[in-house]
Amino acid sequence: MKIGIAGTGRMGSAIAQRLIDCGHSVTVWNRTLGKAGPLRARGAQVATTAAELTARTETVISILTDAAAIDSVYRSPSGLLSVEVKGRLFIEMSTVRPEAERSLAATIETQGAQMVECPVGGTVGPAREGKLVGLVGADDGALRRAWPLLQQLCRRVEHSGAVGAGATMKLAVNLPLIVFWEAFGEAMALTRPLGLDIAGLVDLFTETSGGTNVLKNRAASVARALTGEDTGPATFDLDSMRKDLRTMLEEARSRGFELPAAASVLAAFDDAAAAGHGGIDGVHIPAYVVKRSGLSLDLSSAPRSPACPPVAPRLGAEPDRTSLRGEPS
């Protein structure tokens, strides 16, 4: 199938690569054309305008920063919708408010094409492996057309209702995910005086109700970040989380209620961004929160808590649990 990708940022590039690997003919377009270059070397064709992308393909996937980007990429004079689109399928995957998706779908349908809204859960690695979670808003006919492609990109596709439902679900899923990174950092700050082994501590959390799926998946990177190590390029960074939090708050306020947890994390992350940390990946947020709390990441400098003295081994007794301090010698 001839597929177009509009937006070759982190996610768009990973999705393009996945579809190339699945044997599709992939053409990409990006506002900053130079960023599409690496995909050419991996087998993609590059369109020079969004209009050309539509003209050269049957189905176009877009995954862009925000509603302003969607507006520009679809509706500008050389945008995706500036050429004949009758009969084409658009799959819109950005994380935005439901109204942005509904408005776009209405425009696309007026021009005789179909749209499926499918924001995704999962980051660059799952996108490369076809293991995203697709949160779909669409009518049944449009979804039937998109289904084979979505199956190649996602390990699970959830049809939540008409266009707008996918965006609502995506904002809902990202709320506890983002709040978790701040909360886990605060939990790490609380445990700091114990001077426990970091990797063991993170691993323990993955087995308690204080852990989450994202911690299970990224425990090793979180532990490395907490010991001050590099973990490679950011995939879902603090600035992207701020954008998502702002979007959630706007959506809730438009519906007449507040999101106090999201609001307070946004305020904390705005401070982090102002201090130059907007580009850090989620796995580094706990380490940032520990340092922000005035604590050191260096275990050797952590004072031992008087409330938690070393456990004296009982003579003759077999240890019945692993210890974050290591086995008694």
Ligand X SMILES: NC(=O)c1ccc[n+]([C@@H]2O[C@H](COP(=O)([O-])OP(=O)(O)OC[C@H]3O[C@@H](n4cnc5c(N)ncnc54)[C@H](OP(=O)(O)O)[C@@H]3O)[C@@H](O)[C@H]2O)c1
* Size of residue set near ligand X by CB under 6 A: 25
| Min CB(132)–ligand X separation in Å | 8
3-state class (DSSP) for residue 225: helix
| Min CB(180)–ligand X separation in Å | 15
- Per-residue x/- mask for ligand X, residues 104 to 143, rule CB under 6 A? ----------------x--x--------------------
Give the DSSP letter string of 281-299.
Answer: BGGGHHHHHHHHTT--S-G
Site for ligand X contains 236 (CB under 6 A): yes
In angstroms, rounded to a whole number, what is the distance separating the alpha carbons of residues 138 and 118?
8
Q: Is 324 exposed, middle or buried (0-12, 13-18, 19+ CB in 10 A)?
A: middle
Site for ligand X contains 240 (CB under 6 A): yes
Site for ligand X contains 262 (CB under 6 A): no
| Min CB(169)–ligand X separation in Å | 12
Site for ligand X contains 235 (CB under 6 A): yes
In angstroms, rounded to a whole number, what is the distance separating the alpha carbons of residues 45 and 122?
26
Rounding to the nearest 10 degrees, give the CA dihedral for residues 121, 124, 126, 130.
100
Closer CB to ligand X, 64 or 89, in the complex: 64
| Min CB(190)–ligand X separation in Å | 28
Site for ligand X contains 30 (CB under 6 A): yes
CA-based nearest residue to 71, from 37, 54, 94, 39: 94
- Per-residue x/- mask for ligand X, residues 59 to 88, rule CB under 6 A? ----xxx--xx--xx---------------
Residues within window 5-24 making contact with ligand X, judged by CB under 6 A: 7-12
The whole-angstrom distance between residue 10's C-alpha and the CA centroid of its chain comes to 10
* Number of other CB atoms surrounding residue 106 within 10 Å: 11
Site for ligand X contains 290 (CB under 6 A): no
Task: Decide the pairing of beta strands 120-121 and 132-137.
Answer: antiparallel
Site for ligand X contains 154 (CB under 6 A): no
Summarize as ranges the residues that interact with ligand X (CB under 6 A): 7-12, 30-32, 35, 63-65, 68-69, 72-73, 94-95, 120, 123, 235-236, 240, 244
